[in-house]
Amino acid sequence: MGEAGLLVKPPTRKAAVEALQNVKRLRPQAVLLNLPVNIEELLNSYSKGEIDYEHFRESIYDLLPEPAGAWIKEYEILFRELPGIGELTDIYCYVDSEFFNQEANTSIEIALLTIRSIITERIDVKEWIKVLEKSVHSEVERWNREVSKIIDIARSYDRVACISGFEGKHIKRELDQAGIGSWIKYLDQPYHFTPLEILKRLIMLDRVDEELSMKLIREHIRFLREYIYSMPYTEAVEKWVRERLYWLPVRSFDGALKGGSP
Provide DSSP, 150-192: HHHHHTT-SEEEEEESTTHHHHHHHHHHTT-EEEEEE-SSS--
Q: Is the pLDDT of residue 108 over 50?
A: yes
- CA–CA separation, 202 and 213 (whole Å): 9
Q: How many helices (H) and strands (E) does the chain have?
A: 11, 5
Mean pLDDT, rounded, of the chain: 87
Mean local confidence (pLDDT), 222-246: 83
What is the predicted pLDDT for the residue at 1?
62
Continuous segment of H or E residues that includes residue 50: none
Q: Do 146 and 95 touch, CB atoms closer than 8 A?
A: yes
What is the predicted pLDDT for the residue at 68?
78
Of 158, 182, 217, 209, the closest CA to residue 7 belongs to: 182
What is the predicted pLDDT for the residue at 251?
38
- CA–CA separation, 253 and 44 (whole Å): 31
Continuous segment of H or E residues that includes residue 245: none
Query: How would residue 227 be classed by pLDDT, with cut points 50, 70 and 90?
Result: confident
- CA–CA separation, 168 and 183 (whole Å): 10
| pLDDT, tens digit, 9 for 90 and up, residues 148-170 | 999 999 999 999 999 999 889 99
- CA–CA separation, 235 and 13 (whole Å): 7
Query: How would residue 256 be classed by pLDDT, with cut points 50, 70 and 90?
Result: very low
Q: What angle do CA 216, 6, 261 make, to 5 degrees?
A: 85
Of 74, 39, 36, the closest CA to residue 236 belongs to: 74
Q: Which residue has the higher pLDDT, 83 or 1?
A: 83
Mean local confidence (pLDDT), 47-52: 92
Q: Which residue has the higher pLDDT, 98 or 156?
A: 156
Mean local confidence (pLDDT), 101-122: 89
- CA–CA separation, 170 and 167 (whole Å): 5
